Every structure is written in C-alpha cells, then in structure tokens.
Amino acid sequence: MGNNIRNRAFSNILWRLAERTGAQAVAFFVEIALARLLAPEAFGMVALVIVFIAVLQVFVDSGLGNALIQKKNADDLDFSSVFYFNMTVCLTLYGLMFIAAPFIADFYNMPDLTPVVRVLSFMLVISGVRNIQQAYVARHLMFRRFFYATLGGTVGAAAIGIGMAYKGFGVWAVVAQQLFNAALGTLILWLTVKWRPKLMFSMERLKGLFSYGWKLLASSLINTLYIEIRQLIIGKVYLPEELAFYNRSSHFPKFVTANINSSIDSVLLPAMSAEQDDKTRVRSMTRRAIKTSVYILMPCMVGLAVCAEPLVRLILTEKWLPCVPFLRVLCFVYAFLPVHTANLNAIKAIGRSDLFLKLEILKKIVGLTAMFSTIFISLEAMVYSYLITTVISMCINAYPNKKLLNYSIKDQLLDMLPTIAVALAIAVPCGAVLLLGLNDVLTLIIQVLTGIVFYIGLSKLFKLEIMNYLLDMLKSFFADFRKWREAK
C-alpha cells in the first residue's frame, strides 16, 4: 500500500510538473514577447488588478476545495454543494469588483484602470466554474487531465496576446491573454473530467466541510494579502514602472519554482491525506518531498541569480535591467518555497487546520513588521526584508512537525545542507564565466553547461543519495508511461 501511494504520488507529481512546465514555458515566452512590445507601465496596470483578483480568489475556494480533498468519504452531495456555493460567491465578488473599479482607479490616479478592472475581474467567475473540477482531479490523483487543460489554454492565449500587442492594443493584449487562458483551460478541463454537479445541495454537508476549511481560508487570505500587499504598496508609494520592475523580477524565479512547488503542493495533500492515520508514512513523505524539491530547485535558483544580468539583457532588453537586483534576492526567497509547502501539507493532511492558521498569523506578524519598517527606506530594503522573513517563516512552519511527525528543524536542515552546499559551490565556476567578456548568448550557454556539469559531478563526488533516488523514480515513471502508451 505504501509503495503504491508513493509511486502514484511521484507519477502524478511528474504529470503535474510536465503540465506546469509546459504552461509556464509558453506563458514565459509570451511575457517576453509582450515585454518587448509593450511599455513597463502597461504591465504595472495589469499587475495591480491581478493583486485584487488574487486576494478575492481566496474566497472563491473558501478552503472548501482542500476540505473536499482531505475528507475521507466525500461524495457527489459534498462536491455539488460546494460547487453551487462557490458560484454564488464568485458572482457576488465580481459584482463588487465591477462597482469598486472607479474607486480603485481614483486611488491609484489611473483613470484608464476602470474598464481593465471590470473586464479582468471576470476571471473570478471562470475560477468558480473550474474550482471544484480541480478538487475532483486532485482528490483522485488524475493530474494527467490538468496537462491537456492548462496547455490548451496557454497556447491559445499566447496567440491572442501577442497578436493583439503587435496590432497596438496595449494593455488590452495582456487582459485578453489572461482571460482567454483561464476560459479555455476551464473548458478543456470540463470536457476531459467526467464529474458534473448534480441537482442536490446540503447546508449540513457544507457546514461540516467549512468547519475544516474556514481555517485554511483564513490562512490563505492572510498569506495572499501578505504577498500581494507589497505590490499594492509599491504601486501607491513608488512609480508604476518601479512596480513593473519588481513584478517582472519575480517572474524568472517563479517560472521555475511555480512548476515544482505547484506540482508538489497539488499531489502531496491528497497523497498525505490518504495516509493521515500513519504518522510514520506522512513523515517519510514530508522528508522525501523536502530533499527532492531542494535538490532540484536550489541549483536552479543559484544559477539564475548568477546569470541574472545577461539573461535580462538578452530576453527583456536593456530597459528592464533595473529589475536585476530584485531578481537576485528573490531567487533565494523562492528557493525554499517547497520546504514551506511540504511542512504545511503535512499539518493539513493530519487535520490540524487550526494549527495551520496560528502559524500563518505568527508568520505574517513577523513579515508585516519587517515590511512596514522598510517601506519608506527603499524598494531594495523591502526586498531584503522579504528574504530575512522568509527564512524565519521556514523555521516557524517546520517547528510543529517536531512534535507531530518527529521531524525537527534540525533534522530538516541536515537533510538539506549537503544539497545547499553543492548548489552554492556551482556559483563560483558559473560566475567566473562572466569574466570572459563574451556576448550574452555565449555567456549564458557556457554558464548553464558549466553549472550542470559541476552540479552532477559534485553530487556524484559527495554521493548524494537523492540523485540516485530521482534516477530510480524516473526510470519507474517512464516504464509506467510506456505501459500506458501500449495499452492505448
């Protein structure tokens, strides 16, 4: 049973990773094209609206999606009740954003922002249609379905966004790309996943799910506000282009971390929930998730920090170079994101949503104190405070699992340190390439190849167990994939 869950979890992580990587790759190149065609101010406008949508998106889920995944015997009545409740919430939130649009535009002194808010906020309604389908897929570990839905939406949106930008539609090119991506991805998911809402509703079931989910809702709302409030404050205190530089600086590390972290996050909760009564198994899965994610992610973030300047200059052009210092710091902010995810999913899986909420409140008190202490110093000071509080938050997230799973902060650090040391070591040869004075294309090619060779070589030299584990699991995955193709 344990090996079956492990293999299914790893297989689904790879499917989710393939889906996220493909989608993010397409979206990343679309954003590059749009960044070349549009001014930074256009991205600053959309970034502000996305912040509001991201905050309201928390209410769309209401924590009930996670509750459906965690509940042992969730049935059609549970899923249908949540679906109708979510749609009501989505339509209400869209109405509020439609009414609030002129006030948001006045607050930021951007009259053209009103129609952008009203149109882009329709993503909330689309999310309501998609949300429960996603929970159904996650609960049944059917992440192959996400692959088709996400890629379909992303590729279609790419053509529309670039075409409209080329024709001079400005900010509306970005708006159309975002909306079409969400809409087509949702349509494909509905066509490929057989579940449909039934004409049934139970307030009692909803209350039962909400008793678990409201704490996750509150936690998610606190976390989202904490993350997004930076952009709201930057948009108010600093110039729109400065917000664009900060926003754009996060896109490079997000491109890598979002794929890995969302893949792990999506699969870990249902996989751990299936084993929630066996704390030893949950501990093992948490430990494996941390070791695996750090081994994959840390060298990527170190390499990206070293390659930041030639990469930005080559891909986004000279006008975006002011984002380089922010990018380098944010690489190390995002490097440990999967560690947060693994620890928190373990806490959620064993039903401790109350503890999850307490941790979020504590972390945000620390983070907001640091942010408001640096906001009027400089944008750089705000970013560095973000890095410091990220490390503190990682320790806060890990602390309860010493008691819950017998997996302490010290144990986690010992699991991560060999990989971190090897990853940091590749910064020396990769950084030395910059001294050669080559053009940006050659510099990046040599840096990437140098980093890969040194990382693999040092992993073998120091006999890192996680590398052999990943190779074995990849062989198993491709063997299963071949069987699946032959069965087709």
CA pair distance 386, 230, nearest whole angstrom? 10
User: How far from each other are the two terminal CA atoms of the chain, in whole angstroms?
Assistant: 26
**H or E segment to which residue 380 belongs:** helix 379-398
Length of the chain: 488
Q: Tell me 320's DSSP state.
A: G
Give the 3-state secondary structure of 232-296. HHHHHHCCHHHHHHHHHHHHHHHHHHHHHHHHHHHHHHHHHHHCCCCHHHHHHHHHHHHHHHHHH
Q: Residue 431: which residues within 8 A CB-CB, separation 6 or more?
A: 306
Identify whether the C-beta of residue 89 lies closer than 8 Å to the C-beta of residue 60.
yes
Q: Residue 302: which residues within 8 A CB-CB, separation 6 or more?
A: 331, 335, 423, 424, 426, 427, 430, 451
Domain boundaries, the chain: 2-487
| pLDDT value of residue 454 | 93
Q: Hey, what are 436's tokens?
A: 């050669």
CA pair distance 283, 285, nearest whole angstrom? 5
Q: Hey, what are 440's tokens?
A: 């940006």
Q: Hey, what are 143's tokens?
A: 């992440």
- Cα–chain center distance at 462: 31
SS3 38: coil
Identify whether the C-beta of residue 390 lies closer than 8 Å to the C-beta of residue 333.
yes
CA pair distance 103, 111, nearest whole angstrom? 10
Count CB-CB contacts under 10 A for residue 41: 15
Identify whether the C-beta of residue 282 lies closer than 8 Å to the C-beta of residue 350.
yes
**H or E segment to which residue 136 belongs:** helix 123-139
Half-sphere exposure for 145 (CA within 13 Å, toward CB): 22
CA–CA–CA angle 320, 330, 232 (5° rounding): 75
Identify whether the C-beta of residue 257 lies closer than 8 Å to the C-beta of residue 338.
yes
pLDDT tens, residue order, the chain (488 aa): 445 545 555 555 555 555 556 556 666 666 666 666 666 666 666 767 777 777 777 777 656 776 777 677 778 888 888 888 888 888 998 999 899 999 888 887 878 888 888 998 898 888 888 877 777 776 766 656 556 556 666 777 777 877 887 777 777 887 888 888 888 778 877 877 778 888 888 888 888 777 776 777 777 777 777 777 777 777 777 776 777 778 778 878 877 776 666 666 655 556 666 666 677 887 888 888 888 888 888 999 999 999 988 988 888 878 888 888 889 999 988 888 878 878 887 887 777 777 877 888 888 888 888 888 888 888 888 889 989 998 898 899 888 888 888 888 889 899 889 999 999 999 999 989 888 888 989 999 999 999 999 999 998 888 888 888 777 777 776 776 676 566 65
Enter the pTM of the model.
0.62
CA pair distance 13, 132, nearest whole angstrom? 20
Identify whether the C-beta of residue 341 lies closer than 8 Å to the C-beta of residue 261.
yes
Which among 289, 295, 294, 292 is positioned nearest to 266, based on CA atoms?
Answer: 289
CA distances in angstroms from 278 to 341, 403, 455, listed in the order given: 20, 14, 36
**What is 195-227 written as a DSSP string?**
----S---HHHHHHHHHHHHHHHHHHHHHHHHH
Identify whether the C-beta of residue 89 lies closer than 8 Å to the C-beta of residue 59.
yes
Q: What is the phi/psi pair of residue 109, to 5°?
A: 55, 45
Half-sphere exposure for 31 (CA within 13 Å, toward CB): 23
CA distances in angstroms from 405 to 100, 161, 269, 271, 408, listed in the order given: 46, 47, 15, 16, 8
